[in-house]
Structures are given as C-alpha cells and as structure tokens.
C-alpha cells in the first residue's frame, strides 16, 4: 500500500470479509485477535482489489522500505540538507543499509537505488503533467544535478524523452480544459 486511499480500501475490504482491523498502515494490517486471519480467504479478496498478502518477514520489510522511500522523496524535496538514501533508511529501520539492501534486492528483484529512481521518475511525470514547472525547476526540486541528468534518466526509465512525454500530455490537458 502506498497511499491513504489504499489504506482505506484495505480497511474496508477487511471489514467486508468479517475481520476487525485494529491498525492499517502502509504495507501492514493488524487484525483483532478474536478472529484469526486466514490467508487462504484474505489473499483472493485483496488480490482482486490489486493488493497482495505478504506473509514472510522479508516481504514485509521490503514493503516497509518501499513506503519509506516514498517518504524519502518528500524529504529530498523539502529538506535543506537531505540525508542520503542509506542514512535515511538506516535511521528509519535501525538496521544496516547492507542488510536492508540485500533483503530488498532479493525480494523485489531490483536494487533500492533502481526502485528509488523509478519512484523519482513517477513523481517527475506527475510534476510534468501539471505543466507548472520547467524541467530545470523539477530537477532542482528532485535533487538532480542538472536538467540534462534528469532528462537522461527519464529516457532510460520510460524509453522516451521528456519532450515526447509532454507532447503526449497536450491533447489530454486540452480536452480537460475544454470540458471546463
């Protein structure tokens, strides 16, 4: 789960299935102990809504790291002197970065760094879709060394240039404006 709507959706699905969630947070749901969780029942319900049940500690830690990396993007954007990714995660999980990195790579099948790059590019796409900032402003806000570095990374991840992405947005943005 990566957003408040996901948390609400999971809480609602659990309640519909007859469970009483005591706490639902990013990547984790705790249920009232009076009704034991049955993964065979829960998994299909959650899977149908686009979620999955993670039973192993490594899977749970990986999901928690993903949630923390989402928070790290906001930290990058707002902190005057942002922590490095490794310092942020080490502080958050009270574990070595080496351990976190190994667990994440093994369960997610990609490195923390590559996952963070994907997250950053998704955030860049969102910022581009608003059409309110230049590429240089976005690069500054996302802590890229330059607009060119962001542009190169954008192409590597998406397979297209920032200009192509913006061009593809134009008809969508115009049609939304025409509806108003």
* Domains in the chain: boundaries: 4-53, 117-180
Question: Helix 112-130 to helix 57-78 angle, to the nearest 10 degrees?
Answer: 50
Global confidence as pTM: 0.69
CATH architecture observed for domain 117-180: Orthogonal Bundle (1.10)
Q: Are 93 and 63 in contact (CB under 8 A)?
A: no
Within a 13 Å sphere around the CA of 162, how many CA atoms are in the beta-carbon half? 23
Three-class secondary structure assignment of the chain: CCCHHHHHHHHHHHHHCCCCEEEEECCEEEECCCCCCCHHHHHHHHHHCCCCCCCCHHHHHHHHHHHHHHHHHHHHHHCCCCCCHHHHHHHHHCCCHHHHHHHHHHHHCCCHHHHHHHHHHHHHHHHHHHCCCCHHHHHHHCCCCCHHHHHHHHHHHHCCCHHHHHHHHHHHHHHHHHHC
List residues bridging with 21 in a β-sheet: 31
Could you list the pLDDT tens digit for every one of the 180 residues in the chain? 457 788 888 889 888 888 888 888 776 788 887 777 777 778 888 888 888 776 678 888 998 999 999 999 999 988 989 999 999 999 999 999 999 999 999 999 999 999 999 999 999 999 999 989 999 999 999 999 999 999 999 999 999 999 999 988 876 555 555 555
List residues bridging with 179 in a β-sheet: none
List residues bridging with 23 in a β-sheet: 30
């Amino acid at each position: 789960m990566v957003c408040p709507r996901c948390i609400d959706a999971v809480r609602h699905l659990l309640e519909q299935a007859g469970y009483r969630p005591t706490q639902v947070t990013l990547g984790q749901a705790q249920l009232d102990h009076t009704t034991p969780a049955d993964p065979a029942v829960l998994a299909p319900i959650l899977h149908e809504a686009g979620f999955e049940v993670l039973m192993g500690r490594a899977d749970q830690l990986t999901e928690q790291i993903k949630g923390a990396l989402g928070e790290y993007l906001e930290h990058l954007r707002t902190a005057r002197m942002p922590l490095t990714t490794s310092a942020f995660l080490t502080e958050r999980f009270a574990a070595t970065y080496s351990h976190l990195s190994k667990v994440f790579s093994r369960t997610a099948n990609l490195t923390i760094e590559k996952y963070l790059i994907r997250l950053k590019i998704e955030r860049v796409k969102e910022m581009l879709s608003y059409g309110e900032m230049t590429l240089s402003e976005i690069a500054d806000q996302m802590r890229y060394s330059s607009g060119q570095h962001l542009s190169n990374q954008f192409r590597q991840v998406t397979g297209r240039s920032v200009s192509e992405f913006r061009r593809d947005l134009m008809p969508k943005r115009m049609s939304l404006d025409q509806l108003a």
